[in-house]
Amino acid sequence: MGARRADILAHLQENFRVRRVVDYTSAERFGEYLEGTGSMVLDHRERLAYACRSRRLSAGLFSEFCRDFGYTPVLFDATDEDGVPVYHTNVMMSVGTELALISAEMIRDRTQREHVLRVLRDSGRTVVELSVDQVSRFAGNCLELAANGQRYLVLSTTAEQSLTSEQRATISAFCTLVPVEVSTLEAAGGSVRCMIAGNHLPPR
């Protein structure tokens, strides 16, 4: 049974304009899952949905989501050095307004890897490629935020320290780096992106 918070849904409906609620929970009976917290990385501007196959993302349910919400699916396979599938897409990649971070080397199939990188670049993003080691240090688990006309890339101090000087310079051309100390969360296997959910609903 997946984790669901009825109080959060109620809060959103009370404070934002929610036109419809799409419920995929019946798919659990058939062993299909779509953990929206991290199994997909959504490009809201270009309506692209990036996802790597895993036990937490069923390809059929992912396609259904994309049809329902008007996204073009970009589905691929990604594994760590031991051949274990990446369990959440937002562990290995992040897509911002003008910048994308991704560990393309974790997409072992060359054709898939080139396709994903081409889609990212065709969408107008500057791509920063991360190593598998940097992903293990949570460099892919970051999120772009905006305030007062400025863009910020929020990531953990562990992730920020793993970046090369060249990567920092590229990122800083588009966003201000905001490292946050979250070692307690990282000890449990998560990082900054796991703590933040985007809300694109218009307020009431």
pLDDT tens-digit map of 75-115:
999 999 999 999 999 999 999 999 999 999 999 999 999 99
What pLDDT shows up at residue 57?
94
Mean pLDDT of 7-36: 91
Q: Look at residue 37 and tell me whether its pLDDT is greater than 80.
A: no
Q: Look at residue 163 and tell me whether its pLDDT is greater than 90.
A: yes
Q: Identify the sign of the CA torsion 92, 94, 98, 99.
A: negative
Select the more confidently predicted residue: 48 or 4. 48
pLDDT tens-digit map of 106-155:
999 999 999 999 999 999 999 999 999 999 999 999 999 999 999 999 99
What is d(CA 113, CA 22) in angstroms, rounded to the nearest whole number? 31
What pLDDT shows up at residue 1?
44
For 102, counting Cβ atoms within 10 Å of its Cβ (0-12 exposed, 13-18 middle, 19+ buried), the class is buried
What pLDDT shows up at residue 86?
94
Q: What percent of the chain has pLDDT over 90?
A: 85
Q: What percent of the chain has pLDDT over 70?
A: 99
What pLDDT shows up at residue 3?
66
Average pLDDT of every residue of the chain: 94
Mean pLDDT of 29-46: 92
Domains of the chain: 26-195 (3.75.10.10)
Q: How do beta strands 126-129 and 48-52 pair?
A: unpaired
